Amino acid sequence: MDETVGHRSEEEVRLEKLRELQSRGIDAYSDEVHRTHLVSDLIAQFDALQTATAVVIVDGRLTSARWHGGSAFADVADRSGRIQLHLRRDVIGEDSYATIKNLFDVGDFIEVTGTLIMTKVGEKTVEVTQMRLLSKALRPLPEKWHGLQDIEIRYRQRELDLLSNAEVRDRFIIRSKMISAMRQFLDAADFLEVETPMLQPIPGGASARPFVTHHNALDTDFFLRIAPELYLKRLVVGGFEKVYEIGRCFRNEGIDYAHNPEFTMMELYWAYAHKDEFVMFLENLVTHMIGTAFHSLQIPFGEMVLNFDSPWPRKTFREVIIDACGIDIDEHHTREQLASAVAAQGIAIDFEGCVGVGECYDQLFKKTARPQLVQPTWVFDYPIELKPLTKALVSDPAKSASVQLVVNGAEIVNAYYHELNDPVEQRRRFAEQQSLRDAGSEEAQWMDEDFVRSLEHGMPPTSGVGIGIDRLVAFITNSPNLKESILFPTLRPVSKE
């Protein structure tokens, strides 16, 4: 473990060590493992194992080494934790000691055999009787295992980020626990998990710009799905009353702190659910996920605390805009009227790129109301133009039977408590969306004849929801950038010039 490399790079020195190991007949990439305990087992059972002078075998990565003549202290880490090692030349032998000191490196995977001792300073330690190489690392760990800070490298080489930063590992463990808790909750509620196509002839289920690809054998363009919604609804038509899917979706849009071109969604559809029953079910689902992962519903976020204690406030889309800027959308029915009201309030919003008044309402909401919704808040009844797949309210046909959970200015849960199941109205909505596409909108939805035909066979009253897993995890783990909650986020390729 001599780190004096002179003019040679550390990679070159390690490669020379590999060749030396091979010349001595030492397998630098062994298939044989004999682990008896995880590090956490050694810590938890330390007193009993020490008293019994039990021989233990632990496998893991060598993370540090401190040499003192004929003895050394080192550390080995596995998935469960880290423990100190004590090596003595007179115990493991002159040749083995020299081989380990000169040819092993921090970062190598090793297998250690020994017994447990307590050092004079009270640290639980493995007294090594044998150490062998499992896998030689030809590159050093980032910054000598003291943490990787370069954001670009962290995202591009996530494995190094995970090795170096415990909080990053913890974040993805939380993500895994939340998804597992979601499945457990839904399965216990008698929902059926399914898989629907990611390659679709028509992108549907959301307003977004799709990715397009070409299938050579069929000589046909397909689209990466932007949502599984329409296929899941077809399953409801087919008799699955409670159905859900957790999977990747793709949207060919900008990349920023809150958006990644590929992301994980859970979508769920529930036939015959009542509005209040459905919303409360979603609230219980989210609190179950958070409580399972954190053992608390009070989540620190920067200098504040996100409080997920139920029940959460419930307001309408119209009310939160009035609260934020004093503009009542019910009094402004055209882009021109809305623009005048916005100007009168001194609010800087550019409606130039908006197609239809619905997109203007959405811009107003995003610029004024949404950033002010920090604690979990249900926002009901979005303008019908923004929700072409949900029913209009009987009491106000300009509004949709929709609800979104907004946390810290971002939409985490997007639900329709009354999905549109009228095929005639659905066709009219699709035609309206197609008109917006013809007028230049890149996010308006396409006419989907297969889906309309499915509705013509009859779909029962149904509630539906989509939850962005990445976004939810990012917020509750105090991660201001969505890339922190995605193991391998989409990045611009490194230039080869």
Does position 411 have pLDDT exceeding 90, yes or no? Answer: no
Does position 265 have pLDDT exceeding 70, yes or no? Answer: yes
Query: Is 411 annotated in some ligand binding site?
Result: yes
Domain boundary among 105, 140, 175: 140
Please write the tens of the pLDDT for every residue from 91-141: 999 999 999 999 999 999 999 999 999 999 999 999 999 999 999 999 998
Q: What is the CATH number of the domain that holds 52?
A: 2.40.50.140
Residue 194 and residue 126 share a domain: no
Say which residue the tokens 């596409």 belong to: 437
Residue 294 and residue 390 share a domain: yes
What's residue 122's pLDDT?
96
Residue 181 and residue 122 share a domain: no
The least confident of 62-66, 140-144, 461-465 is 140-144
**Residue 333 belongs to a domain:** no
What's residue 419's pLDDT?
95
Residue 416 and residue 309 share a domain: yes
**Residue 364 belongs to a domain:** no
**With helix as H, strand as E and coil as C, how does the chain read?**
CCCCCCCCCHHHHHHHHHHHHHHCCCCCECCCCCCCCCHHHHHHCHHHHHHCCCCEEEEEEEEEEEEECCEEEEEEEECCEEEEEEEEHHHHCHHHHHHHHHHCCCCCEEEEEEEEEECCCCCEEEEEEEEEEEECCCCCCHHHHCCCCCHHHHHHCHHHHHHHCHHHHHHHHHHHHHHHHHHHHHHHCCCEECCCCCEECCCCCCCCCCCEEEECCCCEEEEECCCCHHHHHHHHHCCCCEEEEEEEEECCCCCECCECCEEEEEEEEEECCCHHHHHHHHHHHHHHHHHHHHCCCEEEECCEEEECCCCCCEEEHHHHHHHHHCCCHHHCCCHHHHHHHHHHCCCCCCCCCCCCHHHHHHHHHHHHHHHHCCCCEEEECCEHHHCCCECECCCCCCEECEEEEEECCEEEEEEECCECCCHHHHHHHHHHHHHHHHCCCCCCCCCCHHHHHHHHCCCCCEEEEEEEHHHHHHHHCCCCCHHHHCCCCCCCCCCCC
Q: How far apart are CA 388 and CA 213, in angstroms?
A: 26
Residue 76 and residue 165 share a domain: no
The predicted model gives 152-162 an average pLDDT of 89
Residue 119 and residue 88 share a domain: yes
Q: How far apart are CA 78 and CA 83, in angstroms?
A: 9
Residue 387 and residue 261 share a domain: yes
Question: Average pLDDT, whole number, for the chain?
Answer: 93
Q: How far apart are CA 247 and CA 40, in angstroms?
A: 33
Question: How many separate domains does the chain show?
Answer: 2
**Residue 4 belongs to a domain:** no
Domain boundary among 111, 140, 169: 140
Does position 4 have pLDDT exceeding 80, yes or no? Answer: no
Residue 207 and residue 290 share a domain: yes
Residue 136 and residue 169 share a domain: no
**Residue 249 belongs to a domain:** yes
**Residue 298 belongs to a domain:** yes
Q: How far apart are CA 75 and CA 112, in angstroms?
A: 11
Residue 133 and residue 168 share a domain: no
Q: How far apart are CA 156 and CA 44, in angstroms?
A: 36
- pTM of the full predicted structure? 0.86
What's residue 145's pLDDT?
47
**Residue 150 belongs to a domain:** no
Please write the tens of the pLDDT for every residue from 320-354: 999 999 999 999 999 899 999 999 989 989 888 88
Does position 199 have pLDDT exceeding 90, yes or no? Answer: yes
Q: How far from chain centre, in Å, is Cα 390?
A: 27
- The domain in which residue 51 lies consists of 10-140
Q: What is the CATH number of the domain that holds 272?
A: 3.30.930.10
**Residue 327 belongs to a domain:** no
Does position 143 have pLDDT exceeding 80, yes or no? Answer: no
Residue 136 and residue 165 share a domain: no
Q: Strand 314-316 vs strand 304-307: parallel, antiparallel, or unpaired?
A: unpaired
- Check residues 437 and 332 and name the one with the higher pLDDT: 332
Residue 133 and residue 194 share a domain: no
**Residue 66 belongs to a domain:** yes
